[in-house]
Amino acid sequence: MSTKRVLVTGASKGIGRAICQRLIDDGYAVVGVARTRPADLPNGIEFHTADLADTQALEQFLASAMAEPFYGLVNNVGLVPIANLEDIRIEDLYRAVQLNVEVAIRFSQRLAPAMKAARQGRIINIASRAALGKQGRTVYGMTKAGLIGMTRTWALELAPFGITVNAIAPGPIATEFFAGANDQNDAHTQALLASIPVGRMGQPEEVAHATAYLMDQRCGFVTGQTHMVCGGLSIGAA
């Protein structure tokens, strides 16, 4: 079994928690970080609490976590500002860019040198199908599209060092995160769910499965890609 260390941000619930559980099951030494500590942590996880929107707290956590190098990084933490174009608040734009984009840059910058030295590593950015467009998601979609763009660029920069960089773009996944950002009684939400070709929402474990594939050492010939886990929603209109 592998004892490679993997760091997961936004690890307390939903997709992040499912990723932690799957990677632990696959034999990785998982370090999770989130703003709050859940009561039902996966067995075996090394969990830290830190508000990653606070630059000082983020840097303090990274300093404490870098005693040993990491093989993998999952940039999962994020927030979803919801507003139509004319209602976008600039403060929400800045907050989303900081948490959804800047945090991923900071974590990747800090972990990449040790990965380079080891000549191996995996960086996985959790993006979203909303990067392709979704009503009320100007800011969120922009940040997730930014993650996809960074994924492609980092893949080129890090490939010579044996490091792969890929993105996963979930569609509607049955989590508290999705429920909090999508009114189940809203006509747009109902239409979205009705248009999923496989006829159901996804489960966090299905995103975790895609993460496990991209994290695997045997997946060294896949880099710079965006893997949709969306039940066919991204192609449904076609």
Q: What percent of the chain has pLDDT over 90?
A: 84
3-state helix, strand, coil in the chain (%, to 5): 45, 15, 35
Total count of domains within the chain: 1
Per residue in 160-187, pLDDT (tens digit) is: 999 999 999 999 999 876 776 677 777 7
More confident residue, 160 or 192: 160
Lowest mean pLDDT segment, chosen from 37-51, 99-113, 144-158? 37-51
Task: Please report the pLDDT score of residue 56 as a whole number.
Answer: 94
What is the rounded average pLDDT for all residues in the chain?
Answer: 93
The CATH number of residue 182's host domain is: 3.40.50.720
Catalytic site positions:
140
What are the tens digits of pLDDT across the range 16-48?
A: 999 999 999 999 999 999 999 988 888 999 999
End-to-end CA distance of the chain: 42
Q: Does position 192 have pLDDT exceeding 70, yes or no?
A: yes
Residue 6: the pLDDT is 98
* Rounded Cα gap, residues 75 and 177, in angstroms: 16
pLDDT at 238 over 60: no
Strands (E), the chain: 5-9, 29-34, 46-49, 72-75, 121-126, 163-170, 226-229
Mean pLDDT, rounded, for 49-59: 94
Domain coverage including residue 80: 5-236
pTM recorded for the entire structure:
0.93
How is the beta sheet containing 46-49 ordered, strand by strand?
Answer: 46-49, 29-34, 5-9, 72-75, 121-126, 163-170, 226-229
